[in-house]
Every structure is written in structure tokens, then in C-alpha cells.
Structure 1
């Protein structure tokens, strides 16, 4: 006898008695696709009609090949093979398998209904956007995008612009960007910017225009969607492959269409290239920014931070020296700690000691956390003499290491026969404590 259980929040216990392990596996694999559960009652000898599945009337010692399907309130199921079936009792499961097969055939037709609704809604949004652009009512676009639930899906609402010339596309995009400047709050047109940027990045030779949109997004206090890093890096690589364009030429093209390049836009390009491990391209962008857009602390900070995460220590040291010695910029505390942490992880703690010495020689302040990190790294690598020298320099700056670290440094120096250096350190620490 075949019956279906309706969904409910209360726990329901049903029993499925199967004489064949093969059929049992098929049934329970198909039961996963049902909206409600199907169960079979056994013959009177195995499962008396009207008996409760959870009651003691089902004796596990008399039912060798059965199973219990437990359905809980949240739709969780649990299969317990702890019942046994009385010898000689049999039940027909073919009907349950047939229903499961039929349900599987019917299931794939359900998403198609949503596809039709989605297509119609997306087409409606595109038509509304096209109508607003046709009458130059650009300030209505944020309202259209914010009210629609189809933003960010394909096709892009601005895809109809592909039917006009490149010059007309640039003019339309420029008019949209200019008309949205005065909208408050500034984050309100973000959906418009995102869709417009996604469309522009798919067009060939549109990188200056894409950078202009990114500039507008950043100035609105927002960030482009994460997938922009990949699309922007792809557009940059394609342009470099076709034209071998320098960064300065790209920024000049951006100026020609009416937008002034800034460090924020270039920094985002640097970050995008680093995210796909194009570090040399990122270095070329930073060094090619030129007079029109001079690299700042954030420009070097982004690049050095990404190089540190990739543990490219040699390149990190090179960029730090270029930043401090070449441009006179002082790295932030967070950046110094990140670099020293990468050196410690990479077992190149001697570079950390050299970097601290170089930064101080250039007049850059190195705080207690940086010294402590380098000192602990020296102790991890059992470089006791180097640890002693770092501790001496640390004491000279008025910093006192933690008690446990001080003891480890002194004991390590004594163990390798550097008693004189250990004594000097003790005296330095005693003077500072007093």
C-alpha cells in the first residue's frame, strides 16, 4: 500500500521494509527528490496495519532486512538499518521506484519557468534603460536599477549600445557619468556604474573609459565588484598585446576623453594585476605613472603588501628601497610588520634585521612591534648572535623586550660562548629598567 507524507514541522517516523538490498538503495536514492515522503507498509506478519512505526510492535529480531526513514521538522532525513523482517514476508517496491523515476523526469522542467520569467524581466529592464537613454533622462537610471532584481545578470542592460558606433558609445557613457555626479547619496548609482563598467570592459580598446568609470566608483566611496579585478587585468593584457601601450600613454588617453587620472585609479589597476599574480606588470604600472600621477604611499603599500603575501622577498626589499630611498616616502607601520612577517615566515630573518637597520638609517621610525617580531624570528632560527645584535639596537632605541624573550636571548648567547655580549645586554636592560 503506497501513501505519501505531507511536509510538517513535527517529527515523523516512517518504516520502509525491503526484501532486496538493491531495490532498497534505489528507493532511498530516489526518495531524495520527492517533495513528500513515500512509504510502504509491510504484510501483517511483518508490520501490522495501523501499528505505529516507532512502537515496539516492530521487533528487530524478527525482521532481518528492513529500514526506518526518519523525517525531522527541518527536512533532515536519517536512514537507520536496525529493523529486521520476518522470514517469508515480502513487499512490492517497484511502484515506489516508478514514481521516483517519474518525479525525476518532471523535476528539470521546473527551472525553465523561472528562466522565462527572468528573461522577460531582464528584457523589460533593458527596454526601460534604452528608453531613458534615448530621451537623455540619465538620472532615472539609478531608480530603474535599484528597483530591478535582475541587475548583475546576463545579458547586460547596456548591451544595446553595441549597435551604435564607438564614438557614440563614449559620448553616451560620458553623459551618464556626468549626469550622476550630483546624485546623493553618492553610492546610489553604484548598480548603474557596475553594469556600465562590466559592459565597457568587454569592448575592445575601451580601457581609458573603463578607468574613468572606476574613478567615479571610487570617488563615490564604493568599490567595484570583485570580478572587476579579473576583467580589468584581462583588458590591460589585451591592450598591451595589441598596442604595447605604456601607462603614461593610457593616462593621456584618459585625459583626452575628459578625465584626469589620479592615484586611486592607478592603484586599483595595480591591485587588479597583483590579484592575478601579474606582479611585473603591476611594477611597470607603478613606475610608469609619471608626472601626471605620482605614486603615493598607497601605491607602494598595495604592491609591497601583495608581494609580501606571495613571499617574493627580493622584490619586496627592492620596492621598499625604491619607496624610501627613491621617493622619500615613509612606509606605514602595518606595511613594515607585514614585510617583516613575510621574511620571518620565509626563514629569511636576516633580511628583516637588515631592513630595520636600513629604515632607521633613512630616518624612518621603527616601533617596538617590528623589533619584537624580528627578535622572535631570530630566536626561532637559532641565530643567537643576530638576536643579540637586534636586542642591542632595540635597547638603544629605548625598547625593552618581553621578559621571556630577554631570558631566551641571554641564555642563547651564553650557550654559544658569547658571554661578553650577554653581559652587555644584561647591563643595557638593567639601565633601561631603572
Structure 2
């Protein structure tokens, strides 16, 4: 037990010295910035999360890493990289969240540090944390500034490799999400298509983010094209929620023919369309009084083993009768009867 205590004391000795220094600084009302500077100069990077905890630093306060601006650029870049790398093994990972946030706040002040800014976002996401919501706006602004300077999507992402980081799908998805959140859909699509050039292949989430954003502003044709691209070109299956969003937008636009074609396309490609999608299209057809298309969709539903709600069944049959489609109404009614039995 005595040996254990001795070993523990020795392992904590460097930390004890720096803590003593921190206490001295704290009692003289020295800000966290000076305390961090002492830790950085001592290369005690792994203690940085503890410093934020002890000073109760708020995420909304100015970045305490501003002292790094006094360092030569190459040294500043190396120090930030060393801090990022030192945080990776720290557990639990959420302890690093406020450190990442402060580093993001600082690196954003200098456009030359944008590759590091992206690297910090990547590390934040990999740690299981999310950057503060304001990051969507600041990232989009910085990204668009870089694009206005003539840099391509690939050029910006490749700059990360120059400092030892490789962009991944998670980072690209966050960039796409940020751009969609500020209504930069055209640029989001460019990132979606450009990320492949740096070895980051879009996944179902990448497409889902953009398709969902397009549906919110009812850009249905563009959303349909992306669905077809992800299914045919990328061999990806859209999530049920994404399909529902597209069909709901088409229903809002009263474009039920396109909605029916979407279901037919997905079924032909081997994608299992869910009950909610079918029901949504049928109800849209009834609203538009397109009873023949409604009958076609409900017949497709029954082939999948789905039974429409009783009120929907009644409206389809009654609508067909009113439209003079007696033969089709009888066929649909017989199908419903066979399912009920």
C-alpha cells in the first residue's frame, strides 16, 4: 500500500506543480487564457480539460486560446495540432467538448487556419460530441468565403491532408448539413458531388440531408433526381423517412403523378416502399380527385400485403363509381374483399 501511494504521488507530481501555479494565477484574478498559456508552454495538453472545468469556462465566452496569436504561424499550427492529438485518448470523451469549442472559436478568426478548423470539427464529431449550434453558421460562412476565393470543394478538403488529417464522410456530412441549415442548397449539392474526389463517398445520410432540405422548400424535381442518383448510381437505399419527405412534398405541390412514379421507380429497383408512403400517396390522389391513380396505388399496396384504412378504401371505390369507372371500382372492391376474408 505504501509503494502504491509513492507511485501515485510521483505520477501526480507534474500536475501538482502546474495546479499550484494555476491557483496562484487564479487568486490574482488572472484569466483562464494565462493559465492555458502556462499549460501549453509546459506541454501539459492533457490537463487542459481539467482547467476548463476548474475555471467553469462557458462555451459562449471568447476563446481563451487567443494568446496563440502571439506565436509564429508554424508554431501556432503545430501547437493546435498537438492539443488536438493529446485530447483523442482522454475519457470520457465529452470532457473535451468545451476545449474543441474554444479551439473552433479561435481558429475561425484566421482564414489560414481553416484546415485546422475542419480538423477540429472532425475530431469533435469522432469523439461523439456535437459542435455548438452556432457552428453551422460560422462554418458555412467560412466555407463560402474560401469558395469565393476560387477554391474548389476538393481543394479545401485536400488542405486538411497538408496538415496530416484526412477528410471523412462524417465531416463532409456536417458541412453539407451546415450549408443546408443556411439555405445554401446549391453549394451543399456541390459538396455532395465534390467529396468523392477526395475519397469520401457519400452515404445515405449525405443524400438524406440534402433531399430533406430540398423537400422543405419544395424543390421536388431536384429531390427526385437525387433519390434516383443515390439508388442507381451509388447503390444506396434511401431511408423510409427520406422517401416520406419526398412524397409529402409532392403531395403539398399536388404532383401526385410524380409521387406515383416515384413509388413505381423504387419498387422496380428493389426498394421496399413502406405503408406510410403508400398511404400518403393514396390520400394525395384522393385530394386531387385522381381516383384512377389512387386505385393503381392501392392495388400496389395490396400486392405488398398492406391494407388501406377503411375510410380510404371507401373513398377510392366511391370516387371510381362517381367517375364512371365501374369496372375498375368492382376490381378494387373485390381485391379489398379478398384481403378482408
Q: TM-score, normalised by structure 2?
A: 0.88
Contact preservation (8 Å) 1:378, 1:386: yes
Asked whether 1:313 is paired with 2:220, we answer: yes
Matches within 5 A, 1:47-126: 124-126=31-33
Q: Secondary structure at the match of 1:222?
A: coil
Q: 1:427 to 1:262 in 2, by over 3 A?
A: same
Q: What displacement does 1:122 show? A: 8.8
Structure 1 counterpart of 2:335: 428
Report the equivalent of 1:376.
283
Establish whether residue 261 from structure 1 lines up as the match of residue 167 from structure 2.
yes
Structure 1 partner of 2:64: 157
Q: CA deviation at 1:121?
A: 9.8
Paired with 1:141 and 1:125, the residues of 2 have a C-alpha distance of 10
Distance in 2 between residues matched to 1:158 and 1:279, nearest whole Å: 33
Residues 423 and 121 from structure 1, CA distance in 2 versus in 1: closer, same or farther, beyond 3 angstroms?
A: farther
Residue in structure 2 matching 1:285, options 191, 194, 215: 191
- Report what 2:81 is aligned to: 174
Report the Cα offset of residue 189 of structure 1: 0.9
Deviations 1:161-192 (A, max 9, x none): 12223222211110001111111001111100
Change (3 A) 1:121 1:432: farther
Match of 1:130 among 32, 37, 42: 37
Deviation at 1:154, TM superposition (A): 4.2
What secondary structure is seen at the aligned counterpart in 2 of 1:328? coil
Provide the C-alpha distance between the structure 2 equivalents of 1:121 and 1:369, rounded to a whole number of angstroms: 64
Q: Whose radius of gyration is greater, 1 or 2?
A: 1
Question: Does residue 394 in structure 1 map to residue 301 in structure 2?
Answer: yes
Q: 2:107 corresponds to which residue?
A: 200
- Aligned twin of 1:270: 176
Change (3 A) 1:122 1:247: farther
**Structure 1 equivalent of residue 122 of structure 2:** 215
Q: How far is 1:276 from its partner?
A: 0.6
> Using the alignment, how far apart are the partners of 1:169 and 1:304 within structure 2?
40
Deviations 1:271-304 (A, max 9, x none): 0000110001000001001151111111111111
Alignment RMSD, CA only? 1.6
Per the alignment, residue 156 of structure 2 pairs with 250
Q: Once the two structures are superposed, what CA deviation does each residue of 1:243-297 show, in whole Å capped at 9, x if it has no partner?
A: x222222222112211121100000000000011000100000100115111111
Which of 1 and 2 has higher RCO (CA within 8 Å, sep 6+)?
2
**CA separation in 2, counterparts of 1:278 and 1:320?**
19
2 CA distance for matches of 1:240 and 1:121?
Answer: 46
Segments ≥4 residues shifted beyond 4 Å: 120-123
8 Å CA contact 1:122, 1:157 repeated in 2: no
Q: Distance in 2 between matches of 1:202 and 1:302?
A: 28
Does structure 1 residue 186 correspond to structure 2 residue 93? Answer: yes
1:203-249 residue CA offsets vs partner (Å, 9 max, x unmatched): 1132221111011111111110000001000111111111x222222
Contact 2:62 2:105 in 1 (8 A): no
Gaps of 5+ in 1: 1-119
- Write the distance in 1 (CA, Å) between the matches of 2:251 and 2:29: 52
Counterparts in 2 of 1:122 and 1:314: CA distance versus 1, 3 Å: farther
2:44 pairs with 1:143: no
Q: Distance in 2 between matches of 1:365 and 1:227?
A: 38
Match of 1:228 in 2: 135
Structure 2, gaps ≥5 residues long: 1-26
Secondary structure of 2:95 counterpart: coil
Cα distance per residue 1:374-421 (max 9 Å; x no partner): 111111222212111111222222221111100000000100111111
More helix by share: 2
